[in-house]
A and B are shown apart, each in its own frame.
Chain A
């Protein structure tokens, strides 16, 4: 045990608090407790973000250890996750009033935050793998919360795919352990070319399988199928964080393995890179296309997640600083936008019970704040300036058009554009119908259905973030450039 034990606080505190919350029957006290936990957690993470901390919990052997470290990447993800977790949590206070067993929901909601922090801060592959499994297990109850047969089946699918994916990752870990100097994450990778000599192709294949495995969480083709099944059945605040945040768990793992263990130089220009780029491009198109065809609002949003998270993967697999910059911006911006969309869809369900996209006519008059934020998030997801999505798309495209990628990069950027068009096709009609119900629309039947401040305030804050990040992306760009500066 060495280092600063304060690093353990954000990991353990939510877990302990979650257990207490689970036994809290009084709604008011429980909500207060959840709120306090999330705020303290956010404070703790912000405090930790100021400095750089390292902590080794358990040195099993000289190569295996449970160790934590706060580097730039970890801080970026941790801050983002805590903020969104808090906002979605506040929203959930209201939303969970119409669901069963809110105590159980909040228990796992808070506990999974601990697992996510552990994932962000993990300093080596073993810690990462354990946190990753932890995250899967703790978020499972969120998926199957409603307890309907459909939800349970979706939960099992989620579990099956995730465990399989993580299994591929674990397998890769064994190989990496023997080819790397250390499995502690180092910017730029720790691959030892002497140890590797002669086995390059093995490692490439192993790396490829690891990416497929971790890509499962991020909804990358071919292991994406769980996502559109599992996300829509969860209660809306859970769908929001599952889509916006948990998918990014896969992204963290991919970044750590690619940029901090294997190293971008080893993969650059190989068949693996090309294949992974192709898979990401296929996913981008497939997700958007299926979302365009889907009529159930929440499932449409889930398909949209499949597509949007693969923007991130496309950027990461470019192995270029600009692609990396675009990818991490997309991580943040997608989290913001997708949370708004899912929380908005939840507010609609909560207030009107409507779940299909063609039922939403005139809703903009009934719940203007919800639909306005929904519209802003839609614009951000399409990538219309001055909203945030435009900026990330700009950098992704600049990365993709680098001369070294040739046609594949060009095709990728073109597919991003086609996907943006499809995104417009599946989101804008909703907004348009909501605000422009038509001349014959019976305005008399409208009622004020705006949800209360617990729901609207998080939505407004997120929408403001979507615009503010778009107009002033400088601070985020600097932060990410610092991270990538060490890697490349």
Chain B
């Protein structure tokens, strides 16, 4: 039996069972979920780097790829965020405390938090791009002395579409943290006190100092396309601008071929890339 057990342990496709601790509704179509390993040993041994992702299972519906949006310093649970958009997420929308889902990971390269030490951090995100930024923000705040100024420029179509709104507030009160919130024109409410405008415009207006800075930009391709020239004008070099790619994935470990784009497998060589690296990837993702 030992030989069989050994073989079972090596089954890279078999997920860990996770207990759902809490589900929070972030926006009308986005929820965040906190889960912990049902297996205590696994929970103890588990670690990851912020920026990595997992393949989360809803048994019977399939797997979906989500960034682990909690800080790697938090040991009691991991968190992910999802938009209700397809078969797996539709079923995921129905889960609640005590339910069981699956998790495979951590996969991907994560953010180079060590390389970013000593730098000023500029986080730019749109809509459901906040979760993959959130983990990096918390990590940096928990290692505050290692990082310089932190600027977060975050926007969504409407006020209701902003995720982690309360944490944005919390961050804005931290030392040397500046939070710029925005919504698209027409997305504001009468009480809205943040910016109104598309992210590239708001970013330009914000006049963020860019010396010794790195930028992490996450969002839909069109947002990134128009944000890059602004960053360029701010003086940021391509090797200092990072993004996290989203691709259709299945195995998560560079075998099934689905996320292969040009010379990279997004699941293994990424999903975090600098703009300089992205230039070498043809427009095939």
- Decide whether A and B are members of one complex: no
Binding site for A on B (CB under 8 A): none
Binding site for B on A (CB under 8 A): none
